[in-house]
Amino acid sequence: MRLLLRVLAPLIALLLAVAGLALVVETVTAWVAPSSSPLVVPWPAWRTAIEGLTWQSGSVRAVAIVVGVVGLFLLITGLVSRRHDVYLADPVPEVTVTTSPRSLARAVGHEVRSHDDVVSASVVASSSKITVKAATLDPAEEVRAALRDRVTEMLVRLPLARRPRVAVSVTTTKGVK
Amino acid sequence: MSRRSRAAVARSAGRDRTLTTLLGLVLVAASVLALLVGYGVFGAYRATRPLIDPIAVSWVSTHVSATRWILIGVGVLLFLVGLWWLLRTLRPEPRPDVSLSELPGERLTVEHAAICDAVRHDAEAIDGVSRARVRLVGTPQKPALRIALTLVEGTDVRDVWADLDGRVLARAREAFAVSALPTAVRLELDATSAPTPARVE
Protein backbone atom coordinates (compact mmCIF):
# COMPACT_ATOMS: atom_id res chain seq x y z
CA MET A 1 0.00 0.00 0.00
CA ARG A 2 2.91 2.34 0.63
CA LEU A 3 4.09 1.83 -2.91
CA LEU A 4 0.61 2.71 -4.15
CA LEU A 5 0.64 5.88 -2.05
CA ARG A 6 4.10 6.73 -3.35
CA VAL A 7 2.79 6.48 -6.92
CA LEU A 8 -0.59 8.11 -6.27
CA ALA A 9 0.61 11.11 -4.28
CA PRO A 10 2.58 12.84 -7.08
CA LEU A 11 -0.20 12.11 -9.57
CA ILE A 12 -2.87 13.65 -7.35
CA ALA A 13 -0.61 16.61 -6.61
CA LEU A 14 -0.05 17.15 -10.34
CA LEU A 15 -3.78 16.87 -10.97
CA LEU A 16 -4.54 19.50 -8.30
CA ALA A 17 -1.93 21.88 -9.69
CA VAL A 18 -3.20 21.48 -13.26
CA ALA A 19 -6.83 21.94 -12.18
CA GLY A 20 -5.93 25.09 -10.27
CA LEU A 21 -3.94 26.49 -13.17
CA ALA A 22 -6.78 25.74 -15.62
CA LEU A 23 -9.28 27.44 -13.34
CA VAL A 24 -7.17 30.59 -13.11
CA VAL A 25 -6.40 30.65 -16.84
CA GLU A 26 -10.03 30.19 -17.90
CA THR A 27 -11.34 32.76 -15.43
CA VAL A 28 -8.81 35.36 -16.50
CA THR A 29 -9.44 34.65 -20.20
CA ALA A 30 -13.21 34.98 -19.82
CA TRP A 31 -12.60 38.26 -18.00
CA VAL A 32 -9.88 39.90 -20.08
CA ALA A 33 -10.61 38.55 -23.56
CA PRO A 34 -14.14 37.07 -23.63
CA SER A 35 -13.91 36.53 -27.39
CA SER A 36 -11.13 33.92 -27.11
CA SER A 37 -12.78 32.08 -24.21
CA PRO A 38 -12.72 29.10 -23.69
CA LEU A 39 -8.98 28.87 -24.12
CA VAL A 40 -8.19 25.24 -23.25
CA VAL A 41 -11.00 23.72 -21.19
CA PRO A 42 -14.30 23.55 -23.14
CA TRP A 43 -16.40 24.61 -20.16
CA PRO A 44 -19.31 26.19 -22.08
CA ALA A 45 -19.90 22.79 -23.75
CA TRP A 46 -19.89 21.14 -20.30
CA ARG A 47 -22.36 23.72 -19.14
CA THR A 48 -24.83 23.01 -21.95
CA ALA A 49 -24.43 19.28 -21.28
CA ILE A 50 -25.54 19.56 -17.65
CA GLU A 51 -28.04 22.36 -18.28
CA GLY A 52 -31.21 20.22 -18.15
CA LEU A 53 -30.10 17.89 -15.34
CA THR A 54 -31.67 17.89 -11.88
CA TRP A 55 -30.22 16.42 -8.70
CA GLN A 56 -32.47 13.40 -9.30
CA SER A 57 -31.03 12.58 -12.73
CA GLY A 58 -29.50 9.16 -13.13
CA SER A 59 -26.25 10.50 -14.56
CA VAL A 60 -25.75 12.85 -11.59
CA ARG A 61 -26.21 9.92 -9.22
CA ALA A 62 -23.83 7.78 -11.27
CA VAL A 63 -21.14 10.46 -11.20
CA ALA A 64 -21.67 10.97 -7.46
CA ILE A 65 -21.25 7.24 -6.84
CA VAL A 66 -18.06 7.10 -8.95
CA VAL A 67 -16.65 10.11 -7.10
CA GLY A 68 -17.57 8.48 -3.79
CA VAL A 69 -15.82 5.24 -4.72
CA VAL A 70 -12.67 7.10 -5.80
CA GLY A 71 -12.80 9.11 -2.55
CA LEU A 72 -13.19 5.96 -0.48
CA PHE A 73 -10.24 4.40 -2.29
CA LEU A 74 -8.05 7.43 -1.55
CA LEU A 75 -9.26 7.50 2.06
CA ILE A 76 -8.42 3.82 2.61
CA THR A 77 -5.06 4.16 0.82
CA GLY A 78 -4.14 7.06 3.07
CA LEU A 79 -5.24 5.30 6.23
CA VAL A 80 -3.70 1.85 5.75
CA SER A 81 -0.32 2.76 4.26
CA ARG A 82 1.53 2.95 7.55
CA ARG A 83 4.84 1.25 8.22
CA HIS A 84 4.83 -2.20 9.76
CA ASP A 85 8.24 -2.09 11.42
CA VAL A 86 8.89 -4.41 14.32
CA TYR A 87 10.61 -2.43 17.07
CA LEU A 88 13.32 -3.91 19.22
CA ALA A 89 14.07 -2.71 22.73
CA ASP A 90 16.45 0.26 22.67
CA PRO A 91 20.01 -0.70 23.49
CA VAL A 92 20.90 2.88 24.47
CA PRO A 93 18.99 6.15 24.46
CA GLU A 94 19.04 7.96 21.10
CA VAL A 95 19.12 4.65 19.22
CA THR A 96 16.05 3.04 17.68
CA VAL A 97 16.32 -0.50 16.41
CA THR A 98 13.79 -2.02 14.05
CA THR A 99 13.46 -5.04 11.86
CA SER A 100 11.00 -6.00 9.18
CA PRO A 101 8.14 -8.47 9.71
CA ARG A 102 9.58 -10.51 6.85
CA SER A 103 12.97 -10.72 8.49
CA LEU A 104 11.42 -11.74 11.82
CA ALA A 105 9.39 -14.42 10.05
CA ARG A 106 12.55 -15.67 8.34
CA ALA A 107 14.38 -15.95 11.65
CA VAL A 108 11.46 -17.81 13.26
CA GLY A 109 11.20 -20.01 10.17
CA HIS A 110 14.84 -21.06 10.45
CA GLU A 111 14.29 -21.92 14.10
CA VAL A 112 11.15 -23.94 13.35
CA ARG A 113 12.63 -25.82 10.42
CA SER A 114 15.70 -26.75 12.39
CA HIS A 115 13.46 -29.05 14.47
CA ASP A 116 14.06 -32.61 13.23
CA ASP A 117 10.41 -33.64 13.07
CA VAL A 118 9.22 -30.71 10.98
CA VAL A 119 8.75 -31.52 7.32
CA SER A 120 7.65 -28.09 6.17
CA ALA A 121 6.68 -24.82 7.80
CA SER A 122 5.36 -21.38 6.96
CA VAL A 123 5.60 -18.36 9.22
CA VAL A 124 3.77 -15.04 9.14
CA ALA A 125 4.97 -12.38 11.57
CA SER A 126 3.95 -8.90 12.65
CA SER A 127 4.89 -6.90 15.72
CA SER A 128 1.87 -8.27 17.58
CA LYS A 129 1.57 -11.84 16.38
CA ILE A 130 3.62 -14.70 14.97
CA THR A 131 1.70 -17.46 13.23
CA VAL A 132 3.52 -20.72 12.57
CA LYS A 133 2.05 -23.49 10.45
CA ALA A 134 4.09 -26.67 10.34
CA ALA A 135 3.67 -30.16 8.99
CA THR A 136 5.14 -33.27 10.56
CA LEU A 137 5.00 -37.05 10.20
CA ASP A 138 4.75 -37.56 13.97
CA PRO A 139 1.81 -36.99 16.32
CA ALA A 140 1.01 -33.29 15.94
CA GLU A 141 0.49 -32.44 19.60
CA GLU A 142 4.02 -33.26 20.78
CA VAL A 143 5.65 -31.39 17.94
CA ARG A 144 3.38 -28.43 18.56
CA ALA A 145 4.49 -28.14 22.17
CA ALA A 146 8.12 -28.48 21.17
CA LEU A 147 7.81 -25.82 18.47
CA ARG A 148 6.04 -23.42 20.79
CA ASP A 149 8.88 -23.80 23.30
CA ARG A 150 11.46 -23.22 20.60
CA VAL A 151 9.82 -20.07 19.28
CA THR A 152 9.23 -18.70 22.76
CA GLU A 153 12.84 -19.36 23.71
CA MET A 154 14.01 -17.67 20.54
CA LEU A 155 11.89 -14.62 21.32
CA VAL A 156 13.51 -14.44 24.74
CA ARG A 157 16.89 -14.20 23.02
CA LEU A 158 15.63 -11.58 20.56
CA PRO A 159 14.98 -8.39 22.53
CA LEU A 160 11.75 -7.24 20.91
CA ALA A 161 10.13 -4.11 22.35
CA ARG A 162 6.83 -5.89 22.50
CA ARG A 163 6.57 -9.66 22.80
CA PRO A 164 4.27 -10.90 20.03
CA ARG A 165 1.70 -13.61 20.64
CA VAL A 166 2.71 -16.95 19.20
CA ALA A 167 0.21 -19.21 17.48
CA VAL A 168 1.48 -22.61 16.38
CA SER A 169 -0.55 -25.10 14.41
CA VAL A 170 0.84 -28.44 13.36
CA THR A 171 -0.70 -30.95 10.99
CA THR A 172 0.36 -34.55 10.53
CA THR A 173 1.00 -35.46 6.92
CA LYS A 174 1.27 -38.95 5.55
CA GLY A 175 4.61 -40.20 4.42
CA VAL A 176 7.54 -42.43 5.25
CA LYS A 177 9.86 -41.28 7.95
CA MET B 1 14.32 5.77 21.69
CA SER B 2 14.22 9.46 21.11
CA ARG B 3 11.98 11.38 18.79
CA ARG B 4 14.85 12.09 16.42
CA SER B 5 16.16 8.56 16.29
CA ARG B 6 12.65 7.34 15.66
CA ALA B 7 12.19 9.85 12.86
CA ALA B 8 15.37 8.52 11.25
CA VAL B 9 13.93 5.00 10.84
CA ALA B 10 12.48 5.83 7.44
CA ARG B 11 11.40 8.70 5.31
CA SER B 12 8.07 9.89 6.58
CA ALA B 13 5.06 9.47 4.33
CA GLY B 14 2.94 11.47 6.76
CA ARG B 15 2.35 14.40 4.42
CA ASP B 16 1.31 12.16 1.52
CA ARG B 17 -0.96 10.17 3.78
CA THR B 18 -2.60 13.23 5.33
CA LEU B 19 -3.27 14.92 2.01
CA THR B 20 -4.52 11.74 0.33
CA THR B 21 -6.81 11.02 3.26
CA LEU B 22 -8.13 14.60 3.29
CA LEU B 23 -8.82 14.53 -0.44
CA GLY B 24 -10.57 11.18 -0.04
CA LEU B 25 -12.72 12.62 2.75
CA VAL B 26 -13.66 15.65 0.64
CA LEU B 27 -14.64 13.46 -2.32
CA VAL B 28 -16.67 11.07 -0.17
CA ALA B 29 -18.44 13.98 1.54
CA ALA B 30 -19.28 15.62 -1.80
CA SER B 31 -20.59 12.37 -3.20
CA VAL B 32 -22.73 11.59 -0.15
CA LEU B 33 -24.13 15.12 -0.13
CA ALA B 34 -25.05 14.97 -3.83
CA LEU B 35 -26.73 11.59 -3.37
CA LEU B 36 -28.67 12.79 -0.29
CA VAL B 37 -29.90 15.86 -2.17
CA GLY B 38 -30.88 13.65 -5.12
CA TYR B 39 -32.85 11.24 -2.93
CA GLY B 40 -34.82 14.10 -1.41
CA VAL B 41 -33.40 13.93 2.11
CA PHE B 42 -33.24 17.75 2.19
CA GLY B 43 -36.76 18.07 0.76
CA ALA B 44 -38.51 16.47 -2.20
CA TYR B 45 -38.67 19.82 -3.96
CA ARG B 46 -34.92 20.43 -3.70
CA ALA B 47 -34.24 17.09 -5.37
CA THR B 48 -36.05 18.19 -8.52
CA ARG B 49 -34.18 21.50 -8.83
CA PRO B 50 -31.72 21.83 -11.71
CA LEU B 51 -28.03 21.17 -11.11
CA ILE B 52 -27.21 24.68 -12.35
CA ASP B 53 -29.44 26.34 -9.81
CA PRO B 54 -31.18 29.58 -10.95
CA ILE B 55 -30.50 31.14 -7.54
CA ALA B 56 -26.78 30.50 -7.91
CA VAL B 57 -26.84 31.75 -11.51
CA SER B 58 -28.57 34.99 -10.53
CA TRP B 59 -26.09 35.51 -7.67
CA VAL B 60 -23.19 35.04 -10.07
CA SER B 61 -24.65 37.47 -12.62
CA THR B 62 -25.16 40.15 -9.96
CA HIS B 63 -21.70 39.60 -8.38
CA VAL B 64 -19.53 39.08 -11.46
CA SER B 65 -16.39 40.62 -10.02
CA ALA B 66 -16.63 38.75 -6.70
CA THR B 67 -17.13 35.46 -8.55
CA ARG B 68 -14.04 36.12 -10.65
CA TRP B 69 -11.88 36.78 -7.62
CA ILE B 70 -13.24 33.76 -5.77
CA LEU B 71 -12.51 31.51 -8.76
CA ILE B 72 -9.02 32.97 -9.21
CA GLY B 73 -8.34 32.59 -5.48
CA VAL B 74 -9.47 28.95 -5.46
CA GLY B 75 -7.43 28.28 -8.60
CA VAL B 76 -4.27 29.84 -7.18
CA LEU B 77 -4.72 27.93 -3.92
CA LEU B 78 -5.18 24.59 -5.72
CA PHE B 79 -2.20 25.31 -7.95
CA LEU B 80 0.10 26.23 -5.07
CA VAL B 81 -0.96 23.30 -2.87
CA GLY B 82 -0.59 20.89 -5.80
CA LEU B 83 2.81 22.25 -6.82
CA TRP B 84 4.15 22.30 -3.26
CA TRP B 85 2.94 18.76 -2.65
CA LEU B 86 4.38 17.55 -5.97
CA LEU B 87 7.81 19.05 -5.31
CA ARG B 88 7.96 17.78 -1.73
CA THR B 89 6.93 14.25 -2.62
CA LEU B 90 9.25 13.95 -5.64
CA ARG B 91 12.29 15.45 -3.89
CA PRO B 92 14.81 12.77 -2.89
CA GLU B 93 15.52 12.51 0.80
CA PRO B 94 18.44 14.86 1.45
CA ARG B 95 21.86 13.49 2.39
CA PRO B 96 23.23 16.22 4.62
CA ASP B 97 26.89 17.06 5.02
CA VAL B 98 27.66 17.62 8.67
CA SER B 99 28.86 21.01 9.80
CA LEU B 100 31.20 20.66 12.72
CA SER B 101 31.95 24.34 13.11
CA GLU B 102 30.03 27.38 11.96
CA LEU B 103 32.54 29.95 13.20
CA PRO B 104 33.52 32.46 10.53
CA GLY B 105 36.98 31.73 9.20
CA GLU B 106 37.01 28.18 10.53
CA ARG B 107 33.90 26.73 9.02
CA LEU B 108 34.22 22.98 8.87
CA THR B 109 31.90 20.55 7.16
CA VAL B 110 32.33 16.85 6.61
CA GLU B 111 30.95 15.32 3.47
CA HIS B 112 28.11 12.86 3.69
CA ALA B 113 29.96 10.14 1.76
CA ALA B 114 33.05 10.36 3.98
CA ILE B 115 31.10 9.84 7.18
CA CYS B 116 29.00 7.05 5.76
CA ASP B 117 31.98 5.16 4.39
CA ALA B 118 33.77 5.37 7.72
CA VAL B 119 30.77 4.19 9.73
CA ARG B 120 30.04 1.44 7.21
CA HIS B 121 33.60 0.10 7.45
CA ASP B 122 33.36 0.06 11.23
CA ALA B 123 29.95 -1.61 11.16
CA GLU B 124 31.01 -4.31 8.72
CA ALA B 125 33.87 -5.20 11.02
CA ILE B 126 31.39 -6.34 13.68
CA ASP B 127 31.14 -10.11 14.13
CA GLY B 128 27.99 -11.46 12.53
CA VAL B 129 27.35 -8.48 10.27
CA SER B 130 27.59 -9.48 6.64
CA ARG B 131 26.66 -6.16 5.15
CA ALA B 132 26.00 -2.64 6.33
CA ARG B 133 24.43 0.31 4.60
CA VAL B 134 24.76 3.73 6.19
CA ARG B 135 23.37 7.14 5.38
CA LEU B 136 22.71 10.36 7.16
CA VAL B 137 19.30 11.96 7.35
CA GLY B 138 18.06 15.21 8.78
CA THR B 139 19.69 18.60 8.49
CA PRO B 140 23.41 19.54 8.55
CA GLN B 141 22.89 21.01 12.03
CA LYS B 142 20.87 18.07 13.34
CA PRO B 143 21.98 14.95 11.50
CA ALA B 144 20.89 11.44 12.36
CA LEU B 145 22.33 8.12 11.27
CA ARG B 146 20.37 5.43 9.52
CA ILE B 147 22.12 2.08 9.50
CA ALA B 148 20.85 -1.09 7.87
CA LEU B 149 22.66 -4.20 9.11
CA THR B 150 22.35 -7.60 7.52
CA LEU B 151 23.06 -10.25 10.13
CA VAL B 152 24.40 -13.73 9.51
CA GLU B 153 22.16 -16.59 10.64
CA GLY B 154 22.50 -17.37 14.32
CA THR B 155 24.03 -14.04 15.34
CA ASP B 156 23.10 -12.83 18.82
CA VAL B 157 21.52 -9.42 18.42
CA ARG B 158 22.72 -8.26 21.85
CA ASP B 159 26.36 -8.85 20.92
CA VAL B 160 25.90 -6.82 17.77
CA TRP B 161 24.32 -4.01 19.77
CA ALA B 162 27.15 -3.94 22.23
CA ASP B 163 29.72 -3.72 19.44
CA LEU B 164 27.70 -1.20 17.54
CA ASP B 165 27.33 1.15 20.48
CA GLY B 166 30.75 0.54 21.98
CA ARG B 167 32.82 0.79 18.82
CA VAL B 168 30.96 2.16 15.82
CA LEU B 169 28.69 4.75 17.34
CA ALA B 170 31.20 5.74 19.99
CA ARG B 171 33.67 6.61 17.23
CA ALA B 172 31.05 8.48 15.28
CA ARG B 173 30.05 10.49 18.34
CA GLU B 174 33.67 11.25 19.06
CA ALA B 175 34.22 12.39 15.47
CA PHE B 176 31.20 14.67 15.60
CA ALA B 177 32.13 15.83 19.11
CA VAL B 178 28.59 15.21 20.33
CA SER B 179 27.42 13.29 23.36
CA ALA B 180 24.50 11.66 21.59
CA LEU B 181 23.95 10.90 17.94
CA PRO B 182 20.38 9.90 17.04
CA THR B 183 20.59 6.60 15.22
CA ALA B 184 18.07 4.29 13.63
CA VAL B 185 19.25 0.74 13.09
CA ARG B 186 17.41 -1.62 10.80
CA LEU B 187 18.26 -5.29 11.21
CA GLU B 188 17.88 -7.96 8.58
CA LEU B 189 17.91 -11.11 10.65
CA ASP B 190 19.22 -14.46 9.42
CA ALA B 191 19.68 -13.21 5.90
CA THR B 192 22.29 -15.56 4.47
CA SER B 193 25.32 -17.26 5.90
CA ALA B 194 27.51 -15.97 3.07
CA PRO B 195 28.27 -12.27 2.99
CA THR B 196 26.82 -10.62 -0.09
CA PRO B 197 28.88 -7.90 -1.72
CA ALA B 198 27.52 -4.39 -1.54
CA ARG B 199 25.87 -3.30 -4.74
CA VAL B 200 27.63 0.03 -4.75
CA GLU B 201 31.17 0.29 -3.53
Which pLDDT tens digit goes with each residue over A91-109? Answer: 778 889 999 999 999 989 9
pLDDT (0 to 100) of residue B87: 93
Q: Do B157 and A16 touch (CB under 8 A)?
A: no
Chain B residues with beta carbon closer than 8 angstroms to that of A27: 68, 71-72, 75
Q: What are the residue boundaries of the structural domains of chain A, listed by start?
A: 2-80, 97-172
Q: Which CATH superfamily is domain B98-188 in?
A: Cation efflux protein, cytoplasmic domain (3.30.70.1350)
- Given CB atoms, is A65 within the 8 Å cutoff of chain B? yes
Decide: A68 and A60 in contact? Cβ < 8 Å.
no
In the DSSP assignment, the letter for residue A85 is: P
Q: Do B8 and A72 touch (CB under 8 A)?
A: no
Q: What are the residue boundaries of the structural domains of chain B, listed by start?
A: 3-90, 98-188
Is the full-model pTM beyond 0.95? no
Pairing of strands A86-88, B143-151: unpaired
pLDDT tens string, chain B, 201 residues long: the values are: 677 888 888 888 888 999 999 999 999 999 999 999 988 888 888 888 888 888 899 999 999 899 999 999 999 999 999 999 999 999 888 888 887 777 777 777 788 888 889 889 989 988 888 889 999 888 887 888 899 999 888 788 888 888 888 888 888 888 777 777 889 999 988 776 554 555 554
Identify which of B38, B157, B165 has the shortest CB distance to residue A55. Answer: B38
List, as one string, the DSSP characters of A31-47: HH-GGG--SSS-HHHHH
Q: Do A21 and B158 touch (CB under 8 A)?
A: no
Q: Is residue A23 predicted with pLDDT exceeding 70?
A: yes
Q: Do A55 and B186 touch (CB under 8 A)?
A: no
pLDDT (0 to 100) of residue A67: 96
Substitution target from B22, B32, B60, B89 for chain A, most A beta carbons within 10 A:
B89
pLDDT (0 to 100) of residue B127: 87
Distance from CA of A132 to the nearest CA of B (A): 17
ipTM of the complex: 0.78
Decide: B34 and A54 in contact? Cβ < 8 Å.
no
Over the stretch A38-75, which tens digit does the pLDDT of each residue have? 888 888 888 888 888 888 888 999 999 999 999 999 99
Domain A97-172 indexed as CATH 1.20.20.10: no
Over the stretch A116-142, which tens digit does the pLDDT of each residue have? 888 889 999 998 999 999 998 888 888
Q: Do B187 and A157 touch (CB under 8 A)?
A: no
pLDDT (0 to 100) of residue B7: 84
Q: Residue A119: helix, strand or coil by DSSP?
A: strand
Find the closest chain A residue to B26 by CA distance: A71
Query: How far is residue A144's CA from residue A50's CA, in Å, rounded to a whole number?
Result: 67
| Strand blocks (E) in chain B | 98-101, 108-110, 129-138, 143-151, 183-188
B29-46: string of b/e by CB count within 10 Å (b at 16+)?
Answer: eebeebbebbeeeeeeeb
Q: Tell me the pLDDT band of A166, cut-offs 50, 70 and 90.
A: very high
pLDDT (0 to 100) of residue A84: 87
